Structure 1
Amino acid sequence: MARGDGELELTVGVRGAGGGGAAADAPVPISLGRLILAGMVAGGVQYGWALQLSLLTPYVQTLGLSHALTSFMWLCGPIAGLVVQPLVGLYSDRCTSRWGRRRPFIMTGCLLICLAVVIVGFSSDIGAALGDTKEECSLYHGPRWHAAIVYVLGFWLLDFSNNTVQGPARALMADLSGHHGPSAANSIFCSWMALGNILGYSSGSTNNWHKWFPFLKTKACCEACANLKGAFLVAVVFLMFCFTITLIFAKEVPYRGNENLPTKANGEVEAEPTGPLAVFKGFKNLPPGMPSVLLVTGLTWLSWFPFILYDTDWMGREIYHGDPKGTTTQVAAFNEGVRIGSFGLLLNSIVLGFTSFLIEPMCRKVGPRLVWVTSNLMVCVAMAATALISFWSLKDYHGYVQDAITASSSIKAVCLVLFAFLGVPLAILYSVPFAVTAQLAATKGGGQGLCTGVLNISIVIPQVIIALGAGPWDALFGKGNIPAFGVASGFALIGGIVGLFLLPKISKRQFRAVSGGGH
């Protein structure tokens, strides 16, 4: 299942539409309106995730973490994808609570998200209470290690909590889909995610939270910090509203335990393989063509994750020539760049939302392989463009990012166009690999759960590689983002070439069958 950052959710022991290891009572028929409202929690979670992507990498640098070290902070996403999602999928499949299988986990995850958001937003104030500098934040630009430690702990809790909610929320939609079908449920869920992205990036690009809520500014928390704090507090309110709506309208039927599970000859329930280990054991059962899908998926994510990691930081440094640890003017320029970068991500989400409706017709017309390869070539051009735009903006091919002091409004406009343009291949990334995987599992065997779980690994491993390597790699070339984007362009080109020759060919008729088209 797709997450906000593109990761997958592995539901263990899937049987039937609900993804559970055994049958529950037949679900009560649900109207389309109630199904739509049942998925509303996805919008609340994605609202906070959009804020996390757009604001937190730049913010943590103001607390003392270097640009090179910020990438290590994002290791929590891949780790959560490998550990939390399989375990939550397993336990939610087997949960016998009278509230249902999914809602207890959704509620727990949402409450943890609220706690994590408060910790992140108030990390500067908590750090000051623990012994950081007593100087005014507008005058002090040195490290604040207590605040940084509190922030990182809150950040990791936030990412683990997001993973706790996303899987059961998507499985809940499948459980309730009934005669509407899982395709309709998936479309509703993705629509809520798109809306959450748009609202989150809009909130992140707003620079007036400190004016609307002046009490958020403190001695340890200046304007940029107060804006982040305000945006995240609104995210808490919005998430709780969405979560409440989901609890009210998602009427689950309690799980009945071990009934209808396969049994052995002696009548004992036959244990099914569960957990992450089951995925690795099933590698030998992968259908033909799946290894090439995994390879191209990994190369594609190697090309995307540097941009996901550093997009708003790139705007603040290379385009607005700011420095989160520099003078007051440099800090202000950096914060303005981050704000405009968040607006660029808003445009990206809008284009992504419109493009998502066009992917299935495109795949029917030219086939999913050509669509996927074309998206990789688009990313190759876009990542190369970011490096060229940076050189153009800096006007100094040999100096450090902070050496440049000029900026151009035309360059800023080009950057926003680039952000919007990337919404097209991003929509393809969130859709086509999963459709190809589903087709291989359906026509050549191997199991949907197995293939989906293995595809998750091919997404997580590239993220670990980039998280570990992008920061130190950039540090070798002037502490900017240009080297990582240059390498990303190369990976996208390689992924496109490899995909052209190695991806399995899926006919348009086969794609229509797996996607539900043609009915």
Structure 2
Amino acid sequence: MSSWAGHPAVKGSSETVRMMLLTFSSVGMTFTWGVEMTYCTPYLLSLGLSKGQTSLVWIAGPLSGLIVQPVIGVISDQSKSRWGRRRPIIAAATAVVVCSLLTLGFTREIVGFFIEDRRTAKVPTIALAVLALYATDFAINAVMSCSRSLVVDTLPAQKQQAGAAWASRMSSLGNVAGYALGAVDLVKVFGTTLGDTQFKQLTVIAALAMSTSSAITCWAVTERVLLSVKQDSRHQAEGHFNVFKQIWSTLLTLPPRIQAICWAVFWSWIGWFPFLIYSSTWVSETYFRYDVPEDAKDSGDALGSMGRIGSMALTVYSIVTFLSAWILPLFIKSPEEETFTHRPPASIAPWIKKLNKIKPDLLTAWFCSHLIYSAAMSLAPFAASFRFATVLVAICGLPWTIAMWAPTTFLGVEVNKLGSNGDGMGGSYRRLSVGSSNIEMTPRDAPPPPPSGNTGELSGVYFGILNIYTTLPQFIGTFMSTVIFALLEPGKSPELATDAHPSEHSDTSGPNAISVCLFVGALSTLCAAYATRKLRYIP
């Protein structure tokens, strides 16, 4: 067995505070993702890239998820740093994200310092911006990988669901903050202190958010220190490529329940990918197709309204996601309730008792979330007004919350089981004490036995593999969307045809290509529901 020193702990006077501090790094990550996804495409276009070249640049996202998270997971699993396995990597990767964000925002100024001629500086400016974007994506995936593993390492099995729920809450907080700041004219508010454009100021704020949130989590958490690694022929490999060999060997020997979780995530992400990429555009095109008078489609005001309609749909969606992340955990049964029951005030105790009896468990909620998403997106081809399309997008905020919460929870529980001889309750760990000053992982009986690897020993590699099953569907979704667009809308979208470009005119009575992508995604999500249901019957 691996040997360890110390016990994991989190600062804080209450369990709520401890959970917030443990997962606070998610705020900066989602804020940064939001800024990148919203503003980087027009920024790259403004530098001189074509749309085709920009689409190639965006391969950085899935590519970094496919490579970085598994590799960083294995490296952090084996780290023997005296500061712990995850926090040093979180700190180093956060520093790379901060530098890359600032480079991305001020690319022209950096290149202009060395090359004065604007025409000569164009290619180096584009190259530096693309390099900074790739560095941001790769580094933030490293932070994400270690942050997820840190939650699994710190909490016993019965707390994994609560930890994942708090990570989802912090992520939703970052999303709402990102959308809110993106809608404000920051140059008017702050002047030119942080930069003379909206994008520059957002990169500075994102860098501050990323560094602050990661610093808070690293300060609040104390990790166990790995002294020696357990030798296991299934997961250990020798040679220069031992990291990749370990990922491959672990991938081939996944326990049945972890394999089932991964397949459920795989099918669900084929469904979610077109929604995450195209939903706002779909609402905008629906508005332009059905709600704008024919004689107003060529006006600049109509095109501006099209953009605002898409932004409004995303705002409503983010609000639903935020509320769901905070409210849904209250109505879903937690494993902790089986071993510990809070005593509510006598006046509401009967109501609480009735509610607890009808609460679904998280697996049931995950299964139902697939059905909700599938039902909503199966109606996409029939949306004949932007209001109905916005309602469908908003409904998806609820299943998205569970999609971000459930897989992390179940994988965290399974990883804990692997290290606790299968008891599923964190081995010798007792229930977390709400009244203590930190989250302590101390044994029930005194004197405590020597520290051992009974929580999250291989959480890094397993979460990296889960991310492979999240990333591969993105390539499949891209291919699927390309085929559908080529068949239904070759060339430019018919909704964007104008008298200035008559060759772009097309009959808009046919199906919208994006709505067809969403419909195909709805069918894939039914496969995810089937895979999730099977998980209940796997021992």
TM-score, normalised via structure 1 length: 0.69
Shift of 1:131: 8.2
Select 1:104's aligned residue among 88, 92, 105.
88
Match of 1:301 among 258, 269, 273: 269
**Bigger shift: residues 335-344 or 460-469:** 335-344
Return the alpha-carbon distance in structure 2 between the equivalents of residues 122 and 312 of structure 1. Answer: 28
Which residue identity is paired with 2:85?
A: R
Pairs within 5 Å for 1:412-491:
413-434=387-408, 454-468=465-479, 470-471=481-482, 473-474=484-485, 477=489, 478-480=491-493, 482-491=512-521
Instruction: Answer whether contact 2:30 2:175 (CA < 8 A) is retained.
Output: yes
Amino acid at match of 1:257: L
Q: Counterpart amino acid of 2:253?
A: N
Structure 1 unaligned spans of 5+: 1-14, 16-20, 135-143, 265-269, 394-410, 512-519
Q: What are the superposed Cα offsets for residues 439-476 of structure 1, whole Å, 9 maximum, x if unpaired?
A: 7886999x985765544332211112224553575355
One of 129, 140, 156 as aligned partner of 1:162: 140
- The amino acid that maps onto 1:24 is A
Partner of 1:167, secondary structure, is helix
Which of 10, 13, 24 does residue 5 from structure 2 map onto? 24
Tell me, yes or no, if the aligned pair for 2:152 and 2:160 is still in contact at 8 Å. yes
Q: CA RMSD in A?
A: 4.4
CA deviation after TM superposition for structure 1 residue 421, in Å: 1.0
Provide the C-alpha distance between the structure 1 equivalents of 2:107 and 2:31, rounded to a whole number of angstroms.
20
Q: Partners in 2 of 1:305 and 1:179 — Cα distance?
A: 30
Q: Who is 2:370 aligned against?
A: 376
SS at match of 1:26: coil
Give the structure 2 partner of residue 210 of structure 1: 187
Post-superposition offset of 1:305: 0.6
Task: Give the secondary-structure state (helix, strand or coil) at the position aligned to 1:85.
Answer: helix
CA offset at residue 318 of structure 1? Answer: 5.2
Using the TM superposition, give the Cα deviation of residue 170 of structure 1 relative to its aligned residue in structure 2, in angstroms.
2.9
- What is aligned with 1:257? 227
2:260·2:535 contact (CA, 8 Å) conserved in 1? no
- C-alpha contact 2:164 2:409 (8 A) present in aligned 1: no
CA drift of 1:27 comes to 3.9
Distance 1:501 1:193, change over 3 A: closer
CA distance change for structure 1 residues 336 and 98 in 2, over 3 Å: closer, same or farther? Answer: same
Once residues 236 and 438 of structure 1 are traced to their aligned partners in structure 2, the CA distance between those partners, rounded to angstroms, is: 29
Q: 8 Å contact 1:71–1:467 — kept in the other structure?
A: no
Equivalent position of 1:18 in the other structure: none
Which of 227, 239, 243 is the equivalent residue of 1:275?
A: 243
Rounded to whole Å, the distance in 2 between the matches of 1:287 and 1:180 is 20
**What amino acid is aligned across from residue 379 of structure 1 in structure 2?**
Y
Taking a change above 3 Å as real, the CA distance of residues 369 and 23 of structure 1, as seen in their structure-2 partners, is closer
CA distance in 1, matches of 2:86, 2:163: 15
Q: Aligned AA for 1:167?
A: S
Identity of aligned residues (%): 23
From 201, 220, 224, the equivalent of 1:230 is: 201
Output one character per residue of 1:238-294: Cα deviation in whole Å (capped at 9) or x when no partner: 2233233334333445x3532x73599xxxxx9568634334334553445766654
Counterpart residue type for residue 196 of structure 1: G
Q: Does 1:85 align with 2:79?
A: no
- Confirm or deny: 8 A CA contact 1:54 1:201 kept in the other structure: no
Higher relative contact order (CA 8 A, sep 6+): 2
Q: What is the number of residues matched between the two proteins?
A: 443
Q: How far did 1:316 drift?
A: 5.3
Larger radius of gyration between Structure 1 and Structure 2:
2
What is the match of residue 508 of structure 2?
Answer: none
Q: 1:234, CA displacement in angstroms?
A: 1.6
Seen in structure 2, the aligned counterparts of structure 1 residues 216 and 184 have a Cα distance that, compared at 3 Å, is same
